[in-house]
Structures are given as C-alpha cells and as structure tokens.
C-alpha cells in the first residue's frame, strides 16, 4: 500500500463497499441500525444515529472493531490487510484514536480504503476544524454533526458526489473515511465478541 494521495476506488472495490454496507446494515443492533423508510420513490436509508460511549467504557480502537466485522472479513477475503496509523487531523494528533488503511499488501497501489475513529473533546475539535478550514477544507453542518471534507477542487474526479477524505465530528468523537459515503461504516469501537 502507498499513501492516500490518489485514493481511487476500483469498480470492484466500490461494489464490495456497497454490498458490505447492505450486509452490515442487516446485522447491526436495533439501537444503531439505519432506518429504512418506504416512499413512492422507493426505500431510503437514513444515516445511523451516532452515540458517544463514555471513554471509560469504550474498548481500545482497532482496525477491525471500528468497522463492521462483515466489512473486515470481506476485505480479508480479498487478500487485503490493514495498516494502523496514529489518528491525525492536520497537525493535531489524537493519541486514543486510530486511522487504518485497508488494501492489498501484494500490490503497491493507492487504491485503499481509509477509516478512522477517535474520542475528542470540544476544544480540540474546534481547533482541528478551524485548522482544516484555514487549509481550504469545506464544512457542512447537519444538526449536531459537522462534516469537514477535502476541497472538491483537489479531487480531480475522485470521491463520491464530490466528497473525498472526510472527517465527521460528533459529541465526543470524530470519524474519518476516504469518502463521506464511507463514514456510515465507521462507529465507536465495539467490544470483543
């Protein structure tokens, strides 16, 4: 695996991601499962309600416990491995978090999936968001959630719906994924089974 500079997802990986999201949604606990509402236009999937787990009760994050187990299993079935890195937002390091790159270890490529999660206090979150915005990142607020994403001009055709690398700030936590759409796969670390 190489850096995330080109982060292009192949059609097969995109298909896998879609299938994984659908598979993951069927096995989630009722309190975190996305709701599906039928309408004249067909079913729509609402974003999951994110809840902060008190730091004392949150397991240590790993590359496998911040994404659905089915997703991690699918990646491994493709021969992909995870590479763990410190969670960073610009110059801000979050020591209790994790950032993971999933990709094929046998092929040097920038075709990777990136996921991250970290606990964060409001003062650090505000500083990190401001630092990203000062660097040209874009902010969108949706209720209590704040999305901070790469400037669309930097993407060069990459990213889903014009969203590349995206941070999602919530109450006491921050998530990271290589596209805004992939944030749905990231959650607080789940306890061991």
Domain boundaries, the chain: 11-185
30-39, 68-77, 124-133, 151-160: which range is least confident on average? 30-39
Distance CA 145, CA 170 (A): 5
The confidence score (pLDDT) of residue 69 equals 95
> What are the CA-CA distances from residue 57 to residues 52, 54, 91, 119, 191 (Å)?
10, 5, 28, 12, 9
pLDDT for the residue 160 = 57
- CA–CA distance, 11 with 8 (Å, rounded to integer): 9
Residue 170 has pLDDT above 80, yes or no: yes
pLDDT-based confidence at 154, cuts 50/70/90? Answer: confident
Dihedral (CA of 174, 176, 181, 186) sign:
negative
Q: What confidence tier does 107 reach under pLDDT thresholds 50, 70, 90?
A: confident
pLDDT of amino acid 56 = 55
End-to-end Cα, the chain, rounded Å: 29
Mean per-residue pLDDT, 97-121: 89
**Mean pLDDT of the region 132-159:** 85
- pLDDT confidence band for 192 (50 / 70 / 90): confident
Contact 8, 171 (CB under 8 A): no
- In tens, the pLDDT along 4-58 reads 443 333 333 333 333 333 333 333 333 333 333 333 333 333 344 444 444 457 7
110 vs 72, residue with greater confidence: 72
């Amino acid at each position: 695996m190489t850096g995330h500079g080109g982060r292009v997802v192949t059609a097969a990986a995109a298909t896998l991601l879609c299938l994984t999201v659908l598979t993951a949604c069927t096995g989630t606990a009722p309190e975190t499962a996305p709701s599906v509402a039928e309408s004249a236009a067909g079913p729509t999937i609402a974003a999951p309600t994110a809840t902060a787990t008190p730091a004392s009760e949150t397991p240590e994050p790993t590359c496998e416990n911040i994404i659905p187990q089915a997703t991690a299993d699918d990646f491994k079935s493709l021969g992909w491995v995870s590479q763990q890195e410190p969670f960073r937002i610009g110059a801000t390091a979050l020591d209790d978090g994790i950032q993971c790159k999933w990709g094929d270890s046998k092929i040097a490529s920038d075709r990777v999936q990136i996921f991250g999660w970290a606990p964060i206090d409001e003062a650090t979150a505000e500083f990190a968001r401001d630092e990203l915005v000062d660097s040209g990142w874009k902010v969108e607020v949706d209720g209590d959630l704040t999305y901070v994403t790469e400037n669309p001009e930097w993407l060069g055709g990459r990213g889903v719906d014009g969203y590349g690398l995206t941070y999602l700030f919530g109450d006491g936590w921050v998530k990271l994924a290589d596209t805004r759409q992939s944030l749905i796969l990231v959650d607080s670390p789940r306890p061991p089974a």
